[in-house]
Amino acid sequence: MTRVSGKNSSTSQRAGLRADARRNREQLLAAARDVFVEQGADAPLDEVARRAGVGIATLYRRFPDRESLMRGLALDILGRAAHEARAALADEPDPFRALARYMHRALDLRISAVMPALLGRISFDDAEVSQARQESVEPVLRMIDAAQTAGSLRRDVAFGDIGPLLVRLSRPLPGEFPRELDNGLAHRHLDLVLAGLRAGAESATTPLGGPRVTLEQLRSAGSVSMRDDRERSAGDGLTE
């Protein structure tokens, strides 16, 4: 009969606790993502805990307040997006296929649905969040450049088309659409859009309407919008 020493038993218990804590954290972040997308960033945290299958006390042990939960969610989702983008770039020899694969995975992650919900609620100037944002966009920029160099992506497409396009496709449809149907339609509509992004598409000779927006221009416009939102919120507080 094998004897388990007290030291080994204690180590196993600590490892089990760490695994449980990690699993609880992952479940809370996944639940927060869905709840914030569906109900907004002011959704009840009790609902987040309920969907995660944990008590509200467990939520507050992991995330002391709403802001820390939102910041943790932003870092988690940006990290997952960066991983998917790097994996697509490394695995797919065709850069257009890599871009398409990443965009479909971004829909699954709901990054472009949850991040807009967090705008104005957490600081995107935070060094860690800023670094995570940069790491999530760099491989996407490389895919765009490589696909255009290879002649498979329209030359007039910029990051400012890809990011906001995913935001529009990621938003849940109005009404009581089943989640599975909503997701399926989002991927179908993305396939339709990707067909139009190909340089060889029949429509590629037709100039795109509207401005061509770079990543820097997109960020600049977003910063102005967030500042205006904060100023309006401050003004509303003064008039109450």
Distance CA 143, CA 85 (A): 9
Higher pLDDT, 3 or 74: 74
Under the banding of pLDDT at 50, 70 and 90, the label for residue 175 is: confident
What's the CATH architecture for 67-239? Orthogonal Bundle (1.10)
Mean pLDDT taken over the chain? 84
pLDDT of residue 240: 46
pLDDT of residue 178: 83
Higher pLDDT, 8 or 106: 106
Question: Is the pLDDT reported for residue 30 higher than 60?
Answer: yes
User: For 184-205, what is each residue's pLDDT tens digit?
Assistant: 888 998 998 998 888 875 555 5
Residues of the chain with CATH 1.10.10.60: 9-64
Question: Is the pLDDT reported for residue 169 higher than 50?
Answer: yes
Question: Is the pLDDT reported for residue 14 higher than 60?
Answer: no
pLDDT of residue 15: 56
Higher pLDDT, 228 or 174: 174
Under the banding of pLDDT at 50, 70 and 90, the label for residue 177 is: confident
User: For 101-128, what is each residue's pLDDT tens digit?
Assistant: 999 999 999 888 898 889 888 888 889 9
Question: Is the pLDDT reported for residue 223 higher than 60?
Answer: yes
Under the banding of pLDDT at 50, 70 and 90, the label for residue 19 is: confident
Higher pLDDT, 120 or 225: 120
User: What is the mean pLDDT of the segment spanning 70-90?
Assistant: 95
What's the CATH architecture for 9-64? Orthogonal Bundle (1.10)
User: For 37-61, what is each residue's pLDDT tens digit?
Assistant: 989 999 999 999 999 999 999 999 9
Under the banding of pLDDT at 50, 70 and 90, the label for residue 13 is: very low
User: For 140-154, what is each residue's pLDDT tens digit?
Assistant: 999 999 999 999 999
Residues of the chain with CATH 1.10.357.10: 67-239
Under the banding of pLDDT at 50, 70 and 90, the label for residue 64 is: very high
User: What is the mean pLDDT of the segment spanning 211-229?
Assistant: 67
